[in-house]
Amino acid sequence: MKMKELKSSILLTVVFSLAASFSAFAQGDSFSDPNVDYSFDIPDAKWKMTVKPSATIRNVEFVNVERNDGHLEVRKITIRPDDLTTDVIKNEEQKLQFLPGYVAGKEENFGGFLKGTAFNFEFVRSGRPMIGRFYFLKADPNTIYVLRFTGYRDKLRSLQNQTDSIARTFAVKKGN
């Protein structure tokens, strides 16, 4: 009888732990604005909007606590139908090469609501090691959205599950 009670107790603990983790994950929020044609989920309340889109400026920016802990910029790039995502990444990388201590990292295929590529790199800002993780998400033959995450190397690496979650839930609104 004790073994059966122990199994029941373990099962209840597992069920309550899973329920708590799901409710903690569900505490995030969503971003959507009438001035942009996309939306995404924000997995943690520590992400705060610092640049709100307007009718004239469509850029969106978020920070996680402080800018150097985690910074997100969302940009929309118009491309020609025959342009490859790798070409867009190379164009972005040409700009990044001027960052102090720039070192290119690897590219990874990435998928969520939109498919694309995650590009990683390292650089130095004010003597501190930084990293960037840019998600290039192709919405249609003429549009790529770039989610540019940067931050202190140790901080942003610890947030990669959140940056991946934001990129995975990034979606173009219906009718756009």
- Please give the pLDDT value at position 13: 43
Distance CA 96, CA 122 (A): 10
Q: What Å distances lie between residue 62 and 11, 43, 68, 103, 114, CA to CA?
A: 39, 12, 11, 24, 20
Q: What Å distances lie between residue 78 and 40, 142, 170, CA to CA?
A: 20, 6, 17
- Please give the pLDDT value at position 4: 60
- Please give the pLDDT value at position 113: 96
- Please give the pLDDT value at position 127: 94
Residue entry with tokens 């004790």: 2
DSSP, res 173: P
- Please give the pLDDT value at position 58: 86
pTM higher than the cut 0.95? no
- Please give the pLDDT value at position 151: 97
Q: Where are the domains of the chain?
A: 29-172
pLDDT per residue rounded down to tens, the chain (176 residues): 565 654 555 443 433 443 333 434 445 699 999 999 999 999 999 999 999 999 898 899 999 999 999 999 999 999 999 999 999 999 999 999 999 999 999 999 999 999 999 999 999 999 999 999 999 999 999 999 999 999 999 999 999 999 999 999 999 998 65
* Superfamily the domain 29-172 falls into: Mog1/PsbP, alpha/beta/alpha sandwich (3.40.1000.10)
